[in-house]
Amino acid sequence: MLEFAPGADVRRQTASAARIGVGGPVGSGKTALIERLIPVLRGRGVDLAVVTNDLVTKEDAERLRRSGLIEPERVSAVEAGACPHTVIREDPTLNMAAGDDLEARFPGLELVVFESGGDNLASTFSLDLVDWWMFVIDVAGGDDIPRKRGPGVLKCDLLVVNKTDLAPHVGVDLEAMLGEAIAVRGDRPVIATNARSGEGVEAVADMIGRAVLFSE
């Protein structure tokens, strides 16, 4: 009666563009980092699109559409029904469908970036939705964030510590914070960025390239 044939590599049958997630607490700089990454990745010839999961408004989607960095039609917004973690973890289907829709509209698309709505340290991406994801925290959120060992900090493929420029102003010892982040992550990648100046953004792009675009 029930002829289910999921196969080992189910995801690849429906998606051909790589999909990556950008998660992290409210205001840590997810959108700012994406704004920095877009020109770098496009400069490397990557054909990309973005899906945002704004909580209440379409603020981030509108900001990216107006940025002039990417054609507005390449930015989709998915509502999170008051649950930013549900829409990337327990039930990522609306995001999956938004990604499918972008792929259908832009043949040749190589990368879809999903920005999660700002959430807490427990938010993680479902691997049904993305191939690889980063978690963005910031220096001003407190140097104890890595120590708190939230699932987001521990499980992500790349931890980004943003707003390095603010460290002196908030009394954070950046080196110590990064050291602790690397320690709790068991030597998995951590990159420090300043999305204001663009510092560290090339390194993030390199890592995305190696992880999902099979480039150098």
Ligand X SMILES: Nc1nc2c(ncn2[C@@H]2O[C@H](COP(=O)(O)OP(=O)(O)OP(=O)(O)O)[C@@H](O)[C@H]2O)c(=O)[nH]1
What are the binding residues for GTP?
Answer: 24-31
Work out whether 196 is an interface residue with ligand X (CB under 6 A): yes
Number of Cβ within 10 Å of residue 188's Cβ equals 14
Residue with smaller CB distance to ligand X, 110 or 157: 157
Work out whether 60 is an interface residue with Mg ion (CB under 5 A): yes
Work out whether 67 is an interface residue with other proteins (CB under 8 A): no
> Which residues make beta-bridge pairs with 190?
159
115, 22 in Cβ contact below 8 A? yes
Work out whether 162 is an interface residue with ligand X (CB under 6 A): yes
In whole angstroms, what is the distance from residue 77 CA to residue 38 CA? 17
H/E segment holding residue 94: helix 93-105
* Residue numbers 69-98 binding other proteins by CB under 8 A: 78-83, 86-87, 90-94, 96-97
- Contact pick of 12, 16, 26, 105 for ligand X (by CB under 6 A): 26
Work out whether 138 is an interface residue with Mg ion (CB under 5 A): no
- Contact pick of 18, 23, 31, 184 for ligand X (by CB under 6 A): 31
Work out whether 163 is an interface residue with Mg ion (CB under 5 A): no
H/E segment holding residue 103: helix 93-105
Work out whether 65 is an interface residue with Mg ion (CB under 5 A): no
- Helices (runs of H) and strands (runs of E) counted in the chain: 7, 7
> Which residues make beta-bridge pairs with 19?
112
